[in-house]
Structure 1
Amino acid sequence: SETTTSGLSAEDAAAKEWIAQKESSGSYTAQNGQYYGRYQLSLSYLNGDLSAENQEKVADDYVAGRYGSWSAAKTFWLANGWY
């Protein structure tokens, strides 16, 4: 949707959506052990705020800090099966 990819290039927006589909089928309430939500972030990263808005912000910050872009995160995911 517009809110999940605003400010991203088309390539990064597509990569972000691809990761969300791989991680959770796009669900903000998916849970697998300590990982939660659309991007399967560690619950510790979410600091108790499981809202869609916070998941988007935390995911964007995580990817920017670790990979620099969603496209780079997708490349890593393809090589490793996780990000």
Structure 2
Amino acid sequence: MPATDSEIQEWWCSSIRAITKDKRRATAAILIYTAWNLWKERNQMIIEGSQCSALQVFFLIKEEIWLRQTACGVPRID
């Protein structure tokens, strides 16, 4: 797990670089939605004291990606 800003940037670049160009946008979207939902659930747990299971967070991520696809049509994630 990356600990510093530079490690996060290196991890991000190496993760994206390893993927074919036509799949990069979809992969970036998955990573961003995953990080965003983990952050939201962390904050909700700290602020409200509520807690979701890993499976519930997974379905929240999947739902947000589906909503984005439905609204905008891109990126396509198979």
> Fold-level match, TM-score > 0.5?
no
Q: Which has the higher strand share?
A: 1
**Larger Rg belongs to:** 2
More relative contact order, 1 or 2 (CA 8 Å, 6+ apart): 2
Q: Which has the higher helix share?
A: 2
